[in-house]
Amino acid sequence: MMDCLAVAAGGAIGAVCRFLIGKLPIGSNDGFPIKTFIVNIIGCFLIGLIAALALKQFADSPRLVMFLKVGICGGFTTFSSFALETGGLMENGAYITAAAYVILSVAFGIGALFAAQYLSGKVF
C-alpha cells in the first residue's frame, strides 16, 4: 500500500509539473508541439538521471526510486519510460528489438490515436 501511495504522490507532482509547462507562453506558429517536446526531453533526462542514481545513491531506497521514476516521471510523461527501455535494449545489444520497439511504438501509438478518433466519430 505504501508503494501505491509513493507512486500516487509522485504522479501528482509530475502531472502538475506537466500542466504548468503547458501554461508557459511559448510556442510557434508552425505547429511544432514545443511544449510536449520539452516535456518529453526533460522527462527522458530525468528518468535517465534517476536510473543512474538509483544504482549508486538510492539502491537502499526502492520506494524513493519508485516515487521518482514511476511516479514523477510517469506522471510527467511516459515517453521517459519509453526512452529508458529503448536505451536498456540498446545497452544490452538488442538493437533489432530496440528498433522494432521504437517503430512499433510510434506506428501503433499513432494508429491508436487515429483509431480512437475514427471510433469516437462513429460511436459518440
**Residue 30 one-letter amino acid:** D
Cell of 8: 500516487
Percent of the chain with pLDDT strictly greater than 90: 50
CA–CA gap between residue 69 and residue 67 (Å, rounded): 6
**The overall pTM is greater than 0.95:** no
Kindly state the average pLDDT of the residues 32-42.
87
Q: Sorting pLDDT into bands at 50, 70 and 90, what band is 123?
A: low
